[in-house]
Structure 1
Amino acid sequence: MEKLIQMVDIRKEYKMGDETVYANDGITLDIDKGEFVAIVGKSGSGKSTLMNIIGALDVPTSGTYLLGGKNVGKLSDNQLADIRNKMIGFVFQQYNLLPRMSIMENVELPLLYAHVSAREREKRAMEALEKVGLGEKAKQMPKQLSGGQQQRVSIARALAADPSLILADEPTGALDSKTSRQVLDFFKKIHEDGNTVIMITHDNSIAVEAKRVIRIADGKINFDGSSEDYAAII
């Protein structure tokens, strides 16, 4: 399989007074194109720091991170922004939809930043909305949708630019159990369609829905294996 993510000895340190704290402390991992991976850990484990590095929102203090063969740690701020816009589709816990824009306009936003033509933006946004079962809601405003529907809009927005990676940060954290189930089913379908999905969560019951689980504790990986093997030890 082709490697999408290659990390070697990733460290992220912060100074707290005279003390150095390692949020990530020597993380090495590979993720292939087309994988569905959950990164799980408790609050303060270092999973959010790792997510920020994977998403090119931050760079490591040391170590090497290649995303699609590009060394992220060597890129300028403008190049990092370009990577985020073209290669990564983000799904956030709180949806991050703009309230004064229609559902369609929200989904079109990444395409607007990528300078895609208006006609092509509309076509791709509608295709993405139809994938998550919300094509008929395109002209509605976010406040007219339920929480689960808004999260599906954010998934459509992530898909619209056809990114290399879908990166989801606690995507079910604001949802009830029934709606969480529906959203997880959409992630499974997205994965089955060939997309690479990385889901960040603190919840073991959510993590085992992925195909592979990476558990972080004290800034280090202490489990990396199949969801079946992980389910057997939690």
Structure 2
Amino acid sequence: MAEPLIELKDIYKIYHMGDEEVRANDGISLTINRGEFVAIVGKSGSGKSTLMNIIGALDVPTSGSYLLGGEDVDQMSDDQLADIRNRMIGFIFQQYNLLPKSNLLENVELPLLYAKVPAEERKERAMRSLERVGLADKWKNMPNQLSGGQQQRVSIARALAGDPSLILADEPTGALDSKTSREVLNFLKELNEEGNTIVMITHDNSIALEAKHVVRIHDGKINFNGDVKDYAAII
């Protein structure tokens, strides 16, 4: 039986710009089960980035409820939000967000450092993550010594290091050429086949079709939520 990991119900995120009310998310309800590979797709300004921030516990909704692994996220303090990010979520960003003056091992260790994992265990887990992405032999290298694709693999290793319940990938191929994008997408598929839950944010329909399930956002609302094959038939 499918086990929900992400449960969003009637999520509203409202901003006030002068006298104008902007509903970035306008009554979104969504359930994502453990082990799914979901693409959330939408054009710029659709509300997908706001939704990503809420799912990633980087922001809280104006109203509605959000359960992550059964924990009530929208009622948490800032310290509790930071804790849930460290414990349950691995982030992959478009621009890699690697520390330029730290070597690869130190970059991958970073979320474990925040989670207060002891130094020896931290190093072991970071090395295992680098091995998974094929970069263990380069652990002493600095980010500027790597190609863009290799840097993105380091960011994937960093996301995996904490053994998160959820991997949240924000436009993970946006800064890569087509060949390297394919390599990264194939690796995300492999991770999903191993049982990892992946939510990928993208503006590109062709990238969204790499997932198994697609959620399309338009003007702050979900206007498609279903299997990738059904989505491919309507775009």
TM-score range, shorter chain: over 0.9
- 1:136 CA drift (Å): 1.0
Task: Give the 3-state SS of the residue equivalent to 1:190 in structure 2.
Answer: helix
> Residue in 2 aligned with 1:218?
219
Instruction: Give, in whole Å, the separation in 2 of the partners of 1:92 and 1:192.
Output: 21
> Residue in 2 aligned with 1:48?
49
Over the matched positions of the two proteins, sequence identity in percent amounts to 75
Instruction: Give, in whole Å, the separation in 2 of the partners of 1:104 and 1:213.
Output: 34
Q: Deviations over 1:163-203 (max 9, x none)?
A: 11000100000000000000001100111111100000000
TM-score, structure 2 length as denominator?
0.98
- 1:16 CA drift (Å): 1.3
> Residue in 2 aligned with 1:19?
20
- 1:114 matches 2:115: yes
- 1:18 CA drift (Å): 1.0
> Residue in 2 aligned with 1:31?
32
- 1:115 CA drift (Å): 1.1
Paired residues for 1:1-234 under 5 Å: 1-234=2-235
Instruction: Give, in whole Å, the separation in 2 of the partners of 1:119 and 1:191.
Output: 28
Q: Deviations over 1:36-57 (max 9, x none)?
A: 0000000000000000000000
Q: Write out the 4+ residue segments of structure 1 that deviate beyond 6 Å after TM superposition.
A: none
Which ranges of structure 2 fall in alignment gaps of 5 or more residues?
A: none
- 1:231 CA drift (Å): 1.1
Task: Give the 3-state SS of the residue equivalent to 2:16 in structure 1.
Answer: strand
Which amino acid in structure 1 is aligned with residue 165 of structure 2? S
- 1:64 CA drift (Å): 0.6
- 1:123 CA drift (Å): 1.0
Which amino acid in structure 2 is aligned with residue 171 of structure 1? P
Instruction: Give, in whole Å, the separation in 1 of the partners of 2:188 and 2:110.
Output: 21
Which ranges of structure 1 fall in alignment gaps of 5 or more residues?
A: none
Instruction: Give, in whole Å, the separation in 2 of the partners of 1:134 and 1:227.
Output: 32
